[in-house]
Amino acid sequence: MKRKWFNAQSLVLTATILYIFSLFMPWIDLPFRASANGLSQQGYLVLFLFVIPLYFILNEKSSRFFSVASSVAAVAFLIYYAGEANRTYQGEVVSQTGGGLYLSIFSAVLLVFAVFLNNIERKRYGTNGSVK
């Protein structure tokens, strides 16, 4: 049976794929061409927070609390990590964050948006796609 995907479900899948892609990009850029990707910075631990909403969407289960909480926690952890990556050097704040970390923050914000949109679509259309 072919099932209809809502826009929010596609966005959750897109956000998760973007986050996985960001794990292989540099999260920390240091001077003299040194960098560290998301896997070496233990970014795979935050991937679990992306998998929770994805699990509920793929199994068509409704758990608004866990989906919202995990997506907001992903944003909070990544923004905290980005703040910790900045260092003060001779009185100046030096940003060491790389493009992969910015992409991961973007994908986490996209995940929060998609989870809220999914909750709205489920209230409006139900789980089988028919208008209530």
Domain membership of residue 90 (yes or no) is yes
The percentage of the chain sitting over the pLDDT mark of 70, rounded to a whole number, equals 86
What's the CATH number where 58 sits? 1.20.1270
* pTM given for the model: 0.83
Which residues, other chains included, contact 83 with Cβ-Cβ below 8 Å and sequence gap of 6+? none
Of the listed ranges 3-17, 22-36, 75-89, 116-130, the one predicted with least confidence? 116-130
Q: According to the per-residue pLDDT averaged within each range, which of 9-13, 87-91, 104-108 is highest?
A: 104-108
User: Is residue 92, in this structure, part of any structural domain at all?
Assistant: yes
Q: How many domains does the chain have?
A: 1
The residue type of 46 is V
Residue 94 lies in a domain: yes
User: Residue 28: CB partners within 8 Å, gap ≥ 6?
Assistant: 35, 36, 41, 85, 96, 97, 98, 101
> Is 112 contained in some domain?
yes
Q: Is residue 132 part of a domain?
A: no
| Domain range for 60 | 7-125
